[in-house]
């Protein structure tokens, strides 16, 4: 593999493949400073999916699924054709212009106007395209580096070098240490689905609450809050589409949509005599909602050690997933109660 990487023009001078307690990864062969390139490779060594590219294996997945690009590849704004392709286009324009002037006797001014218009059209088109669409790439060698959600890293396409370059921007790695990058701000749902692992303490993890309105009202009732019965269709989220009915609980508390929805659901409760605001009350209800969801999960223990059998590995991944979701709920409840104690959330 290392021989192939060299032949393909892949440069990773301070990395080597290593084993970390049964987990394959990349180790630093020398101290690596923050911002220093980790891996550099020509675009020809990567597998690319460009905008509007047709599915190359229609018998494997549907065109709709392929178009949604639900994959584990790196992605970024589409930069248009590489400079070599642009150079060929420019050479063709020049050749066509020279031929038009010499053979067809087209006025030089007319030819220059046409060439400038064509060049400007391509530049504007590529710029507008890059603002709206992405391209996706599977980058050999870089894919061997493991993920950590707290690491800040970048994977950039250097246009004039026609290469992908990856680096970390938040920390340095010492010789012998495992080098880590971020696959993006992904929850454990997507990490488990697309990469097959669960990240302990994932700062981007979240817990989804189905039927948020009903569960928020149940949590409020468990606190002794008396709410007016919501008329049919009057709930802020009860009549919304299924995805909008969901709530999102994070380690720092409910997201903006969820907190606003809970606040609306408990707005009919009798005003508090001790000056508790509507948002503070909603945070208290959110904490009670976290407690209720923890009761649904039941006792959760994180498995220890590697599972040799496939079924055991799947069970271990499922248990780890449940453990992390429980941790999200615990952190969310703690954050809600802390924020509810303050005058402003």
pLDDT by residue for the chain (345 residues), tens only, comes to 778 888 889 999 999 999 998 889 999 999 999 989 999 999 888 887 776 677 777 787 777 777 666 566 666 655 555 655 556 666 766 677 677 767 766 677 776 776 667 666 666 555 555 555 666 778 888 889 999 999 998 888 887 788 888 888 788 999 999 999 998 899 999 999 888 899 999 999 999 999 999 999 999 999 888 777 665 554 544 555 555 589 999 999 999 999 999 999 888 766 665 678 889 999 999 999 999 999 988 877 655 544 444 458 888 888 999 999 999 999 999 999 999 987 544
Environment class of 104 (CB within 10 Å of its CB; exposed 0-12, middle 13-18, buried 19+): exposed
Give the sign of the dihedral formed by CA 57, CA 60, CA 63, CA 66: negative
Give the sign of the dihedral formed by CA 167, CA 169, CA 175, CA 180: negative
So what's the pLDDT on residue 69? 60
**How many angstroms separate the CA atoms of 69 and 248, rounded?**
23
So what's the pLDDT on residue 345? 46
**How many angstroms separate the CA atoms of 73 and 26, rounded?**
18
**How many angstroms separate the CA atoms of 166 and 77, rounded?**
16
So what's the pLDDT on residue 307? 46
């Amino acid at each position: 593999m290392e021989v192939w990487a060299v032949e393909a023009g892949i440069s990773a001078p301070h990395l080597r493949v290593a084993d970390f307690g049964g987990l394959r990864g990349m180790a630093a062969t020398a101290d690596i400073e923050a911002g220093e390139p980790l891996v550099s490779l020509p675009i020809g060594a990567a597998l690319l999916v460009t905008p509007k590219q047709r599915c190359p294996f229609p018998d494997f997945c549907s065109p709709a699924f392929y178009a949604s690009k639900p994959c584990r590849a790196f992605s970024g704004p589409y930069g248009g054709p590489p400079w070599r392709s642009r150079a060929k286009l420019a050479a063709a324009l020049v050749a066509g212009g020279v031929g038009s002037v010499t053979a067809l006797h087209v006025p030089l001014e007319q030819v220059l106007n046409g060439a400038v218009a064509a060049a400007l059209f391509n530049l504007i088109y590529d710029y507008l395209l890059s603002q709206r669409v992405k391209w996706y790439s599977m980058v050999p060698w870089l894919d061997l580096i493991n993920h950590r959600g707290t690491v800040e890293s970048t994977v950039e396409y250097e246009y004039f070098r026609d290469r992908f370059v990856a680096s970390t921007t938040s920390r340095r790695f010492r010789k012998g240490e495992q080098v880590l990058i971020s696959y993006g701000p992904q929850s454990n749902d997507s990490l488990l689905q697309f990469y097959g692992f669960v990240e302990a303490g994932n700062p981007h993890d979240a817990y989804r609450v189905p039927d948020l309105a009903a569960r928020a009202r149940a949590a409020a009732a468990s606190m002794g809050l008396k709410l007016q019965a919501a008329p049919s269709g009057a709930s802020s989220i009860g009549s919304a589409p299924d995805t909008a009915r969901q709530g999102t609980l994070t380690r720092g508390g409910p997201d903006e949509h969820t907190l606003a929805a809970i606040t609306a659901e408990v707005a009919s409760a009798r005003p508090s005599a001790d000056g508790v605001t509507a948002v503070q009350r909603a945070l208290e209800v959110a904490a009670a909602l976290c407690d209720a969801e923890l009761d649904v999960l039941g006792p959760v223990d994180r498995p220890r050690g590697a599972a040799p059998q496939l079924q055991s590995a799947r069970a271990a991944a499922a248990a780890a997933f449940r453990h992390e979701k429980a941790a999200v709920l615990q952190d969310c409840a703690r954050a809600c109660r802390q924020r509810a104690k303050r005058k402003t959330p």
